Amino acid sequence: MVELKYKNWNEISINTFEKLQGLFNLEKTGDEQMDNLNMNISMLSILCDVDEDTITDLPVNDFTELSKQCMFINEMPKAKIKDKYEINGQMYEVQFNVEDMTMNQYIDFQTFIKEKEKYLKNICACFLIPKGKKYGDGYKISEVVEDIGNSFSIVDAHSIFFFFTLLFQSLTKATLACLVKKMKREKKKMNKEQQVQVQRAIDEVNKVMNLVKSGAGLFG
């Protein structure tokens, strides 16, 4: 008998969640080809990690039983953010102090937050740093993003995303001003290409400072 590979939300990775999200989006848009039965077949194929033909070949009783086991999908639990996570055998530490962020780190975060649903694993990679490393130093960010996408729980990913979203929304103008000063100091040590990138980051922070001053939301 076919069995569920993913039996609860904590076992579902970001990449698997994105597949499910694609189905949910089709349902919301009222896609004519995606009725309830087809939706269940597609969802079960993802949760069992098999093709849809394998699901449609199941006896009705087995299909019904698997569908019942998938009821957990209706509600995602919340999780508290941790200070470290083990992902695919590698220990990662969460960088909570945003004042220690590098320019590249801040630029990446500002870039990915604009399309947060598409780049959730990239956003997590901005704050999940391999133990003993600094952002982007001594490891490949692309490999970390791949591991996060394949092996990091969507529940934990959401806890990181919401924590840092709220954190940046609550940053004071003074804190942002300190970040700008730090960028300007480091800008003097860089080549022209790097200086252009840092200036873009400074411009972005200044925009955020204006939003904070006006009381507007950061990522609304």
How many other β-carbons are positioned within 10 Å of the β-carbon of residue 117?
Answer: 8
| pLDDT band with cut points at 50, 70 and 90 for residue 205 | low
pLDDT at 212 over 60: no
C-alpha to C-alpha distances, 35 to 29, 31, 40, nearest whole angstrom: 12, 8, 9
For the stretch 61-94, pLDDT in tens is: 999 999 999 999 988 888 899 999 999 999 999 9
Kindly report the CA angle at 212 between 202 and 127, in degrees rounded to 5? Answer: 60
**pLDDT for position 94:** 96
Residue 94 pairs in a beta bridge with 128
Mean pLDDT within 113-134: 94
For the stretch 16-74, pLDDT in tens is: 999 998 887 765 555 555 578 888 999 999 999 999 999 999 999 999 999 999 999 98
